[in-house]
Chains A and B, each alone.
Chain A
């Protein structure tokens, strides 16, 4: 059974820091891995999708990597800003459904 774990559960950093969020999954037979952002009381915004054949994807200040063999993905956020404060969710797709981690709640102080 696929399980997704995100560490740390919460993270507080000052503005301007570069930071890394971690995601691990137990079964490497996945189609895709997707990173989302969720603001309090809001829906999910798709940030990046990495296909199983890819190693990384970049969008602006965000870079996500995927190592299928070790069951790990990282989301790198460069030059963090207060507007980046949110919960970041990692999800893997191995069939019909996305399997989600519980998220990392990020707080960036100015």
Chain B
């Protein structure tokens, strides 16, 4: 049973380019979360999605960032016109059910390390 799969593991983009980060949740999980880990900072929540729906995007920057989780295929975190401050590790997590209880246990992928040059 494969865990949460993220690709690419490392991504280098020049300022102004677009970055696309992909996440396939664990088998049977339909709840996906994106987190960002800036250097010397803790992990910060960005967005929570279910299939075809954004449920909570309270942690997403207002501009340039978007996320989707289509009916078929992986979840995508898209960053347009990247700037140096976007350099960070981006982690995806999935759970069976959100909220309270053991089924809410979150499992994380290996992350995508974005470097903007």
**What is the interface of chain A, defined by CB distance below 8 A to chain B?**
4, 31-32, 34, 36, 41-46, 49, 51-52, 89, 91, 93, 95-103
Asked whether, in the complex, the Cβ of A96 is within 8 Å of the Cβ of B104, the reply is: no
Asked whether, in the complex, the Cβ of B91 is within 8 Å of the Cβ of A49, the reply is: no
Chain B contact-residue range equals: 20 to 34
Return the chain A residue nearest B46 by Cβ. Answer: A97
Q: How many angstroms from the CA of A98 to the CA of B104 in the assembled complex?
A: 11
Inside 8 A of A44's CB, which chain B residues have their CB?
A: 43, 91, 93, 108
Of B14-22, B61-69, B71-79, B95-103, the stretch lying at the interface with chain A is B95-103
Asked whether, in the complex, the Cβ of B56 is within 8 Å of the Cβ of A103, the reply is: no
Residue of B4, B42, B91, B105 touching A103 (CB-CB under 8 A): B42
Interface SS of chain A: helix, strand, loop or mixed?
strand
Inside 8 A of B42's CB, which chain A residues have their CB?
A: 4, 89, 100-103
Q: How far is the CB of A6 from chain B (nearest CB, A)?
A: 9
Asked whether, in the complex, the Cβ of A46 is within 8 Å of the Cβ of B99, the reply is: no
Inside 8 A of B58's CB, which chain A residues have their CB?
A: 96-97
Return the chain B residue nearest A102 by Cβ. Answer: B42
Cβ contacts A to B, 29 pairs, < 8 Å = A31-B101, A32-B100, A32-B101, A43-B4, A43-B91, A43-B108, A43-B110, A44-B43, A46-B105, A46-B106, A46-B107, A51-B101, A52-B100, A89-B42, A91-B106, A93-B106, A96-B45, A96-B55, A96-B58, A97-B56, A97-B58, A97-B59, A98-B35, A98-B106, A99-B45, A100-B35, A100-B43, A102-B41, A103-B42
Q: How many angstroms from the CA of A34 to the CA of B108 in the assembled complex?
A: 12
Inside 8 A of B93's CB, which chain A residues have their CB?
A: 44, 98
Inside 8 A of A96's CB, which chain B residues have their CB?
A: 33, 45, 48, 55-56, 58, 98
